[in-house]
Structure 1
Amino acid sequence: MLSRMIVELGPWSWWLLGLILLAAELLVPGVFLVWIGIAALITGALSLVLWEVSLWTWQIQLLLFAALAVISTLLGRRLLGTDRTTSDEPLLNQRAASLVGRTAVLAEPIAEGHGRVKLDDSYWLVQGPDLPAGTRVKVIAGNGRNLTVEKA
């Protein structure tokens, strides 16, 4: 049934596929099906022009569609993928990185390169040179849940 419909529609089957993909983009978030739909519409436009050419087989059409889908997706990601807006809070969800430059007192000594420090209301695992508890340290780097410190 589907193959019969494609044969009867001829080059318009690509247009139909493109419109279905563009409509599906409304239901599926992510701006991905748009680029594949555009590739189908371009293939449909070429099919209208080249339908009677003997070289324009379904295999060539499918290869062209696949190539256009990849190219349009890559171009679309390049155009829309980068967020060029700057935030007034660049470290909002990077808690450890936001602590870089602060000083604190060691809650537990740094032994064999590992210890703990209390900053605000949280205890943080720290890495650095061996130092006794109560030493004032400065945070020089943050990596996930661990902070790297040096003697202040």
Structure 2
Amino acid sequence: MWDYLQHLSFWDWLAFGTLLLILEVFGAGGYLLWVGVAAAGVGVITYLFPTLPWTWQFLLFGIMSVLTAVLWWRRQRHAAKPSDQPGLNQRGQEFVGRTFQLHEAIVDGRGKIKAGDSVWLVSGPDLPAGTPIKVTGQDGVLLKVEAAA
């Protein structure tokens, strides 16, 4: 084992980095990406300095693994900014506060309205079809409504 460690080549590091990156493809969630990149980086350094002792190689690998992960984490944290379209992919939120007419009567708390080019399920007090209603909220695909004043 010691003999193997003392004769680590850049191929060993590149193979290890490749293996980690392949495992990352199978769904590690980003945990192995930066460790794999660090292993490939140590492979490049070992190619440039082939007499680098194995202890320094492992030390560089550890430092580079932590450094790449921390730098990426910091970049991601600073890159997260609020969206200029907060209602994107929340289609029912655009109807909150608007007034519509009931397309089908609300019976036992459920009915339908026609909003845009779609028919939406609504929940609220029992009301006859054609009654003006106001959308007050959304619960999944169900719009919460009340009688418009």
Where on the TM-score scale, by shorter chain, does this alignment land: which range?
Answer: 0.5 to 0.7
Q: Deviations over 1:22-51 (max 9, x none)?
A: 9x48xx6x9934322366579x99932889
Percent identity, aligned pairs only? 39
**Cα drift, residue 112 of structure 1:** 0.9
Residue type at the aligned position of 1:9: H
Which consecutive residues of structure 1, in runs of 5 or more, have no partner in the other structure? 52-64
Q: Tell me, in whole angstroms, the C-alpha distance in 2 between the residues paired with 1:70 and 1:113.
A: 56
Task: Count residues in correspondence.
Answer: 131
Residue type at the aligned position of 1:128: G
Give the corresponding residue for 1:146: 142
- When residues 18 and 101 of structure 1 are mapped into structure 2, their CA distance, relative to the original with a 3 A threshold, is farther
**Cα drift, residue 120 of structure 1:** 1.6
Give the corresponding residue for 2:34: 35
Give the corresponding residue for 2:7: 9
- When residues 48 and 70 of structure 1 are mapped into structure 2, their CA distance, relative to the original with a 3 A threshold, is closer
Residue type at the aligned position of 2:7: L
CA contact (8 A) 1:113 1:129 kept: yes
**2:118 is the counterpart of 1:119:** no
Report the TM-score when normalising by structure 2. Answer: 0.59
Q: Deviations over 1:61-94 (max 9, x none)?
A: xxxx7xx979975874464167523433221221
Residue type at the aligned position of 1:89: Q
Report the TM-score when normalising by structure 1. Answer: 0.58
- When residues 128 and 7 of structure 1 are mapped into structure 2, their CA distance, relative to the original with a 3 A threshold, is same
CA contact (8 A) 1:6 1:13 kept: no
Q: Deviations over 1:97-148 (max 9, x none)?
A: 2211111011111111110011122110001111111111111112332111
Query: Which runs of structure 2 are paired with 1:1-150 in the superposition (5 Å)?
Result: 6-7=4-5, 9-10=7-8, 15-16=13-14, 19-20=17-18, 24=21, 32=30, 33-37=32-36, 40=39, 47-48=55-56, 76-77=72-73, 79-80=75-76, 84-150=80-146
CA contact (8 A) 2:8 2:54 kept: no
Report the aligned-residue RMSD: 4.4
CA contact (8 A) 2:99 2:134 kept: yes
SS, match of residue 131 in structure 1:
coil
